Amino acid sequence: MECKEEIRRYFDELIALGELVLATKQSPDTPAIGDFVLEPRITYVWVTHVQNLLVKVFGAESAYYENFSYLIGRELTFMPMLRAQELLKSARDSFLPESSVQGYQT
């Protein structure tokens, strides 16, 4: 049980870090129309930690890992990272024990 709590806490930490990543958005240097760019160093650190967690919890062939990797496989811009953050939240919710998700059942 302690391990599950630790993993859930790590999900929460990465979600909080993801919010910080998204807060680094800036307009692109070129005056062209496009997505906001993000600070690359913190973004790469966040992406690496999330991928590592998703592989350990769900496996490298899981939909969570594959979809996250697809989203971040493009440029490190705001909209793909926002979608990746939402996917991470979904993965965390999926990891909750059965008793915690009973309220979601119809």
68 vs 86: CA distance, rounded Å: 10
Q: What confidence score (pLDDT) does residue 106 get?
A: 35
Matching residue, tokens 């859930």: 8
Indicate the average pLDDT of the chain.
87
Is 2 a residue whose pLDDT tops 90? no
Whole-prediction pTM value? 0.84
Mean pLDDT on 46-68? 97
- Boundaries of every domain in the chain: 2-25+36-96
**All residues at 6 or more sequence positions from 100 whose CB lies less than 8 Å from its CB, including other chains:** none
Matching residue, tokens 């590592």: 52
Which ranges in 61-106 belong to alpha helices (H)? 63-72, 78-95
pLDDT tens digits along 7-50:
999 999 999 999 999 999 998 877 666 789 999 999 999 999 99
Q: What confidence score (pLDDT) does residue 28 get?
A: 82
Question: Beta partners for 53?
Answer: none
Matching residue, tokens 């990272």: 81
